Amino acid sequence: MWINNVYLKNFRNYPELDITLTSGANLFIGKNAQGKSNFLESIELLSLGKSSRQVSDLDLISHNQNSMQAETNFQNDYNLENLKICYEKHSNNKVNKSYFINGKAYKTRKPVLGRLLTVSFKSQDLQLSQNAPKYRRDWLDNLACLISKAYLEIYNNYEKIIAQKNSLLRNNFNSNLVSFNDSLDVYNQQIAQHGAKLIKFRLKTLDRINQYAQITLVNISSANDNLIIDYLRKSNNESSKNNLSYLNSVSQDEFANLLYNDMQTTKALEILRKQSLIGPHRDDLEFIINNQPAKGFASQGQHRSLILALKLAELQLLEDKFSQKPVLLLDDVLAELDENRQTELISRIYQSCQTIITTVNISYLPKNLFKEAFVFDVNNGHITKS
């Protein structure tokens, strides 16, 4: 699929933008802080229905403005489609969000998912294996949402109960001990049920990614490295087994029991810390290369290959699932890759995937990329085709 045009109004540092893209490579060149990442963020917003940056909704609205709009017309194998997302600020700083698909209005982002398929690869992603666990969870959760809308509901339900339990832990401990304990127990039972469902879904998604990532890594690393992404379930039981093959053998009911028991034994600590410490919102992923955790053992080159393999796996997985080639978004990342890895990525680009590339310095990029590319200059919230 490919994006025909993007229209932005008061989105971050763009007062108004209306640009037309080519179905091949689109190159956005500009100095730092001009709006290159913001532009890609607007496309991700239209793909996921939310920003993939860890930001508040208000941040997407231009300073001193009360609303923003992002809109695109894109082409898939069958139709021309229109997506539009509007955020409106209210007096209490809450943001009212509306979503439009081919002109029809929706109140939640769920219907938006799975329409405009994108895979984004940012320079920060190269730290995915070393960064804080939240980044790895978000990566898996966003992908799981794109693959299945059912996941979004499971995820939202879970987050809601965690927020309620955290609020109880923060505010109500000293009020009435009996009712506090009763409420906490009700939340823990619900978290166990919803959390177990969430973990099962994540494991299923991970299983699929693992199948693809192993193949893509072999394709790009001459060393024939072996890759497994393991799921690390946070548990207070030190001896609890965590590897994928074990976790895949655990049923949803068994997960619910494990979670509930873990929460019971962590209760005193949760009350002390005033936050919920057990559950999939605290779990992590571990990248294992040749039976060793990448974090700590892998070379910088291996880390890079690993992330590139993940991104190529995402592309392939989405393409197989939806029978459409996703749009590839490359934010400041090509210059970070060496020639071999650039070549691997570029060869994929020329397999007819629309690509939107940002860069500060054009001289790092392979010359053959420019031949048929649309080239744009990004300057302080304005984009011009050169």
248-263 core/surface letters (b: 16 or more CB in 10 A; e: else): eebeeeebbebbbbbb
Phi, psi of 341 (to 5 degrees): -70, -35
Select the binding partner of residue 197 from ligand ADP, Mg ion, none (C-beta < 5 to 8 A, by kind): none
Q: With binding defined as CB under 6 A, does residue 235 bind ligand ADP?
A: no
SS3 call for 79: coil
The token pair at 49 is 């229905």
Write out the binding residues for Mg ion, residues 227-246 only, by CB under 5 A: none
- Of 17 and 313, CB closest to Mg ion: 17
- Of 318 and 330, CB closest to Mg ion: 330
CB of 342 to Mg ion, least distance (A): 19
Write out the binding residues for ligand ADP, residues 45-84 only, by CB under 6 A: 59, 61-63
Select the binding partner of residue 341 from ligand ADP, Mg ion, none (C-beta < 5 to 8 A, by kind): none
Phi, psi of 349 (to 5 degrees): -60, -40
CB of 192 to ligand ADP, least distance (A): 40
CB of 63 to ligand ADP, least distance (A): 4
Distance CA 239, CA 258 (A): 13
Selection from 74, 76, 34, 41 nearest residue 57 by Cα: 41
- Of 289 and 357, CB closest to ligand ADP: 357
CB of 106 to ligand ADP, least distance (A): 24
**Residue from 3, 12, 294, 309 in contact with ligand ADP (CB under 6 A):** 12
- Of 34 and 266, CB closest to Mg ion: 34
Distance, CA of 340 to chain centre: 26
**Residue from 5, 15, 20, 33 in contact with ligand ADP (CB under 6 A):** 33
DSSP 61: B
Residues ≥6 apart with Cβ < 8 Å to 279: 158, 162, 191, 195, 234, 259, 263
- Each residue 21-40 as x (binds Mg ion by CB under 5 A) or -, in order, gives ---------------xx---
Select the binding partner of residue 336 from ligand ADP, Mg ion, none (C-beta < 5 to 8 A, by kind): none
The token pair at 81 is 């489609």
Select the binding partner of residue 195 from Mg ion, ligand ADP, none (C-beta < 5 to 8 A, by kind): none
Burial of 179 (0-12, 13-18, 19+ CB in 10 A): exposed
**Residue from 13, 22, 214, 219 in contact with ligand ADP (CB under 6 A):** 13
Q: With binding defined as CB under 6 A, does residue 34 bind ligand ADP?
A: yes
Q: With binding defined as CB under 5 A, does residue 276 bind Mg ion?
A: no
**Residue from 25, 30, 276, 342 in contact with ligand ADP (CB under 6 A):** 30
**Residue from 8, 17, 26, 35 in contact with ligand ADP (CB under 6 A):** 35
For 12, 43, 59, 67, 217, the CA distances from 63, given in Å and listed in that order, are: 7, 20, 8, 10, 43
Distance CA 145, CA 115 (A): 12
- Residue showing tokens 């054009």: 362
* Contact positions vs Mg ion (CB under 5 A): 36-37
* Contact positions vs ligand ADP (CB under 6 A): 12-13, 30, 32-38, 59, 61-63
